């Protein structure tokens, strides 16, 4: 978390909080720490989300949380939560369970 915060030169602490949240999400998806780089004026992760996750959603999440311009332009957390909730509810229960199990087994293999 501190590494991401120092990379994006946090001046207020707001970016540090969102960077910390995003680092946790990244760790759950990739089982490794988040690292970022600057492309033009935007901060982007050095690693793309696995193809098994919704790339559009997570791309938006990374872009939104890594590029908070200031304290007056905070991300719409309620909208993000609603979108995530809708994605999860759209998956059949069996599919959600299978996805979590597959992800767990995939991460086990990656750690060997």
Residue carrying structure tokens 């970022």? 36
Q: Tens digit of pLDDT for each residue in 55-73?
A: 788 888 888 888 888 778 8
The encoded tokens of residue 66 equal 């890594």
Buried b (16+ CB within 10 A) or exposed e, 1-11: beebbebbebe
Residue carrying structure tokens 């988040």? 34
Q: Tens digit of pLDDT for each residue in 6-61?
A: 555 444 455 677 878 888 888 877 788 888 888 898 888 888 776 666 778 888 88
Q: Tens digit of pLDDT for each residue in 75-89?
A: 888 999 888 888 877
């Amino acid at each position: 978390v501190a590494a991401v915060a120092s990379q994006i030169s946090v001046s207020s602490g707001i970016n540090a909080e969102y960077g910390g949240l995003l680092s946790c999400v990244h760790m759950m998806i990739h089982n490794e720490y988040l690292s970022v780089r600057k492309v033009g004026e935007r901060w982007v992760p050095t690693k793309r989300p696995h193809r098994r996750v919704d790339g559009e959603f997570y791309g938006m999440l990374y872009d939104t949380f890594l590029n908070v311009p200031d304290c007056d332009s905070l991300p719409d957390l309620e909208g993000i939560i609603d979108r995530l909730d809708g994605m999860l509810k759209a998956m059949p229960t069996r599919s959600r369970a299978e996805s979590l199990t597959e992800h767990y087994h995939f991460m086990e293999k990656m750690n060997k």
